Structure 1
Amino acid sequence: MLPYESHIERLIREATERGEFDNLPGAGKPLNLGSPDDPDWWIKKKLRDEGLDTAGALPPVVSLRREAAGFPESLRELRSEASVRRVLADFNERVKADRLRPRDPRFPPLVAPLVDIEAMLERWQQLPR
């Protein structure tokens, strides 16, 4: 009598017979399971391996704080005072909206700063072009 073979076992056996598992990267080497202290090691590795930007995975307040830290240098390419004002006003509106968002009690309360548009405009005007 033949032993029972599940559907998955059959698929694996057939793929092995076709050689689909031959010459895989890391074949014959132990798995790199990352740090035992970091439960998210696998997603961090995937993001690195795929070259993905992690900014989308950040909480909005952290993204806003990062954006604020880049001012005025990130505004260098803007050519008019009006366009700089629009960008900074939009930023301040997003900060205000973020402040109305309910906070996750598991994390410390972070607040993104509002930008002083006039002061930032002066700094933008002093940037070398």
Structure 2
Amino acid sequence: MTERKPPGVDFESWVDKQIRDADARGEFAELPGVGKPLPSEMDSTYDELWWVKRKMAREGFSVLPPTLALRKEAEDALEAAAKAPSERVVRRIVEEINVKIRDVMFKPPPGPPLGLKPYDVEEVVRQWREGRAER
């Protein structure tokens, strides 16, 4: 659009006229999503960062502070260890998460404190064995 607002014309009236003219020419008729309701997440209270959050989720980025993301990862690791097919896999899962926990303990990132300490590998293996015996 290269047309300039004429002097003396109210800006809002000029913009409204441009929109009405474009609509009359059918320039909005083929836009994606025309005539469809807004996505359900738009129905809630307005969040000015909605598009940033949606983009981050689509790209697989975490919106959690690093320590909270690690807490979630530690919980997931314990669940994975409980379902592991062998003791060797249990040990590998717990040792890998322990490395990450130790790194955060000694070099804390910004954000809330981690509140975790490395897991006792032998205790997790013992629980895994008990879980297998109950099946």
User: By how many angstroms is 1:124 displaced?
Assistant: 0.8
Q: TM-score, normalised by structure 2?
A: 0.56
Identity of aligned residues (%): 23
Shift of 1:71: 5.5
Residue of structure 1 in register with 2:37 after alignment: 26
Q: 2:93 aligns with which of 77, 81, 87?
A: 87
**1:1-129 equivalences in 2 (<5 Å):** 4=4, 13=22, 17-18=26-27, 19-21=29-31, 23-26=34-37, 32=43, 34-35=45-46, 40=49, 42-43=50-51, 46=54, 56-70=62-76, 72-104=78-110, 107-128=111-132, 129=135
RMSD: 4.0
* In 2: Cα distance, 1:117 partner to 1:53 partner: 33
Q: Is the contact made by 1:55 and 1:63 (CA closer than 8 Å) also made in structure 2?
A: no
User: Greater Rg, structure 1 or structure 2?
Assistant: 2
Instruction: Give the TM-score of the pair, scaled to structure 1.
Output: 0.58
* Partner Cα distance (2:112, 2:66) in 1: 14
**C-alpha distance in 2 between matches for 1:74 and 1:115:** 14
Gaps of 5+ in 1: none
Aligned length: 112
CA–CA distance in structure 1, aligned partners of residues 116 and 76 of structure 2: 13
C-alpha separation in 1, matches of 2:124 and 2:44: 46
Change (3 A) 1:127 1:55: farther
